[in-house]
Structure 1
Amino acid sequence: MFSDSEFPAHLDISYIRGHHSHFEVSNTSPSHNMSGELCIEIPFGTTINPDLGRARAQHSEWIEKAGLIPDTEARKIYEATDFPRLVAYTYPSASGAQLDLITNLIGWSFILDDSLDKPGILQASPINTAEALSSYRKVLYGCTCETPDVPLVTAWKELLRCVHERSSEDLKARHRTHWELLFEGFQREAENNARGYVPNFNEYLELRRAAGGVEICLDWAEAIGGFEVLSSVHQDPGFLRLREDADDIVSMTNDIFSVRKEYKGGNTDNVVLVLAKQEQCTWEQAIGITQDLITKSVAHFQVTEAEFLQSACFTNLTPQDMSNTLKFIDAMKHWMRGSLEWHLSSPRYN
């Protein structure tokens, strides 16, 4: 994790600011219709899983059987959001039981995220958030007998069991660490929202990398993909930079699309809100800065990838470990590009 003074140059706001020199304090309400043209370029190949139709039907049946969304209208909204399509973009080669598992995992995780916002972020209580998260944390560490018998928690028990039976001890440990960071991030978000605190950009990056969930989704790529990257590779500084770039690109892309919904609900941890406050600029200008940051993060990812593939960390691997590492890099690219494709078509943030 970078300290406040150690973020990569491509995330230097003072440098980006030079390309948006017309900053001014905005008199425009955040609800103002943004006229700026969206321009997010993520130049990685995109493909969609050919088994999407079957996976979508399976997921709908699973949601109903698990009792996760009993309300009919809420169920219609959920199905229109089409999380199976997000999975089809981000895990394009998954098939059969592996595709079903990852589709249910992604769908469940969004339902969990939404459940923590109720009865609304504006009424958020850090105490209530801590109490809710304690149940999921207990399941994470195997204390299932101490958890409430509610559909979300029951589903979490089964999903986690399926992930861990496909994982080595090293992957299980990484997975638990990433969930612990996510829980801590959710708690900090609840505290920020409760007091209306908008973090600065460096605080935002640290928080979003923890609470965004991208690291967990990459763990799942290994678990359902039937491959694992060596722990020594996961600890390599260059490889960690690739993961951070992927985190940032996916999170900032999401923030551009979700800013209206999050502002309305009182969520302060959105990069558009962060930059608009920090740089004293309009939402349009903040979105422009964010798009530049995404572009620079993509370029940084590409340069870092080339350097990593020439490093001793990679070239000294066995052929099988090289193949596994390349699969993981592809998984990051699928998430960066696939998430954008889904956001462009999903009504979730309309």
Structure 2
Amino acid sequence: MPQELTFAIPFQSPISPHTERARELHLRWVRDRGLVRSESGMREYLSWDLPQAAARTYPYASPEDLVMLMNWFSLAFLFDDQFDANSSDRADRVAEVARELITIPFRPGGTPPDVECPITLAWSEVWSQLSDGMTESWCNRFAGSWGRFLAAHTSEVRISASGTVLDFDEYLALRRRTVGIHHSIDAAERSRRFEVPVVVQAHELMRDMRVAAADTIACMNDIHSLEREERRGDPHNLVTVIRKHLGTSRGEAIDAAVKLTNQYLERYLELESRVPQMCENLGLDASERCAVERGVEGIRHWIRGNYDWALETGRYAAEKSGPAAEAESRGQGGVDDLLLPRSGVGPARRQHQTV
């Protein structure tokens, strides 16, 4: 039932006309980079339909950029699925790879990663494309959002490995960071080659809008992914936390999560209605206002596009069988291990020579 739950979102998001060709190129890239190696892993990955997610959240990207954004999506989702909540050793490996993923945007372009595995090598390639042509201000903003997202995920893995149970407020604070919406909204600018003015990014209204959007998307995602996370025994889900916090039934917890989601959506819409006045108060010119409008449109695309994808993706399917289901029962979402070098035993660390 949770994946089938619908929300009254009062706006639409288009889907890119380049989806199918970009999908073909993306799937070839995923296989070539060793991100999906087994046939069972590919069947599971295909069921997620991440290309649709990218095509809905970045509908105006060029054909080439859409492929790049699909490639980036694969890294974020496949890395998330490398987590094993029951293993402290796995938590250490996740942390090491996460630190490398955080560091890559701050190195000179073309620098090989220090920790080499399929995820880090692929991200180094994608980042060089994602950052191409963007200002240093945008790159720093994206890298900061990306780093906070990965650091939060590392914390989540360690919390799970330690057996710590978060209360309601602690979970909401963590989920706001692990949902990863801030850097995803930043990427909307790259997808259309524009940048929201710095003065707007720093404005309280824009900051509040991004938080409200993140909260809305996080809650929707937790509702739609509930059955998947129940199969995995993953306690980091809004419905599960509400159920424990309030001592309610599963159905009552779902109802409470839906109510909270609608509150966050209403909050976002109310904030968005203030954008024209903000532009007036800041004295923005026509080109700056156009960039702001595109930035707001990018947030809308994420709220609606991610929602439309979540209703259809096999990633959140109520029932699964085969290797994917077996991996989930062990606390993993992925079939293939991507934190090891393709021919090694642990995340390889590149040796630096002293000259």
Deviations 1:50-73 (A, max 9, x none): 211111111111112212111111
Structure 2 residue runs of 5 or longer lacking an equivalent are 318-355
SS state at 1:310 partner:
helix
The Cα RMSD (Å) is 2.0
Q: Which residue of 2 aligns with 1:138?
A: 103
Matched, 1:202 2:173: no
2:87 to 123, 128, 140: 123
Report if aligned partners of 2:54, 2:70 keep a CA contact under 8 Å in 1: yes
Alignment pair present for 1:269 and 2:236: yes
1:26-62 CA distance string (max 9 Å, x none): xxxxxxxx69982422221132212111111111111
Tell me, yes or no, if the aligned pair for 1:49 and 1:89 is still in contact at 8 Å. yes
| C-alpha separation in 2, matches of 1:57 and 1:123 | 36
CA contact (8 A) 1:94 1:224 kept: yes
Aligned mates of 1:313, 1:114 — CA distance in 2: 44
Normalised to the residue count of structure 1, the TM-score between the two structures is: 0.84
Change (3 A) 1:122 1:42: farther
Between the aligned partners of 1:304 and 1:35, the Cα distance in structure 2 is: 28
Change (3 A) 1:343 1:36: closer
Conserved? CA contact 2:200–2:206, under 8 Å: yes
Q: Which amino acid aligns with 2:48?
A: T
Q: Tell me by how many angstroms 1:160 deviates.
A: 0.8
Contact 1:242 1:305 in 2 (8 A): yes
- Looking at structure 2, the residues matched to 173 and 202 of structure 1 have their Cα atoms a distance apart, in angstroms, of 29
Q: CA deviation at 1:137?
A: 2.6
Q: Does 1:251 align with 2:241?
A: no
The code of the aligned residue for 1:90 comes to: T
TM-fit CA distance, 1:236: 0.9
> What is aligned with 2:325?
none
Inter-partner Cα distance in structure 2 for 1:77 and 1:36: 17
Deviates more, 1:255-264 or 1:234-243: 255-264
**Equivalent position to 1:303, from 255, 258, 270:** 270
Is the aligned partner of 1:147 residue 2:121? no
Residues 113 and 202 (structure 1), Cα distance of their counterparts in 2 relative to 1, 3 Å cut: same
Sequence identity (%): 27
Cα deviation for residue 242 of structure 1 reads 0.7
TM-score, structure 2 normalization: 0.83
Match status 1:52 vs 2:34: no
Count of paired positions: 314
Name the CA distance, whole Å, in 2 between partners of 1:177 and 1:274.
Answer: 28
**Could you tell me whether the CA contact under 8 Å between 2:48 and 2:315 is conserved in 1?**
yes
Q: 1:81 aligns with which of 44, 48, 57?
A: 48
Amino acid across the alignment from 2:58: Y
Which runs of no fewer than 5 residues in structure 1 stay unpaired?
1-33
